[in-house]
Amino acid sequence: MSSQQKVQVGDSAPDFTRTTHNGTTINLKSFQGQKAVVLYFYPKDGTSVCTAEACNFRDRYEDFKTAGAEVIGVSSDSAESHKAFASHYQLPFELISDSDDSLRELYGVAPEQTSFGLLPGRVTYVIDKEGVVQLAFASVLESEPHITKALQLLQQQ
C-alpha cells in the first residue's frame, strides 16, 4: 500500500455522491446499514489489466452479492467511455467517472511509478455496512488479488 494513501483500514469511508455510467446517482452513505461496498479505483477502461479486473469482478459479482456487497468501479474515463466499456464486457455493476480526479484525491489514491511510466493508482476498498474501511489494497499491475482479497474478507464477515 502506498504511503501516500490517505484512507486506511479502520477509517470511516469518505462519503460522496456521483452519477454512474447508467445515469444513476450513488451516495455512499445510502449503503450504510444495507450492504457492504467494494469500491475499486482503476487506471483506464479497455486496458489489459483493467479489463481483466472488471471481467473478474463481473464473473464473481454474484459471489459479492451473496456476501452482502455492491461493487462500484471508479476511473477518470468519461461516462460515455464507461458506458461502452460496461456494455462491451457486460458489467453488471456501476462505474463512476472521476474525470477531475476529485474522488481519487478524497481517498488519497495516488499515481504509481511503473516500468510503463506513471499510472493512476489501482486500489480496492472494502467498506462494511457501518461505513468503515475493512480493506485497502493497492497493486497497480495485478488485478486478481483485488478480487480475491475483497471476496475473502467479505465471506469471513
Q: How far is the CA of 125 from the CAs of 116, 128, 132, 135, 154, in angstroms? A: 24, 10, 10, 5, 11
Q: Which residue has the cell 466499456?
A: 85
Rounded Cα gap, residues 39 and 1, in angstroms: 16
Catalytic entry in 50, 54, 109, 147: 50
The grid coordinates of residue 106 equal: 478524497
Q: Is 50 a catalytic residue?
A: yes
Q: β-strand 94-97 against 69-75: which pairing, if any? A: parallel
Whats the size of the chain, residue-wise?
A: 157
Element (H, E) at 110: none
Q: Which residue has the cell 479486473?
A: 53
Residues with a catalytic annotation lie at: 50
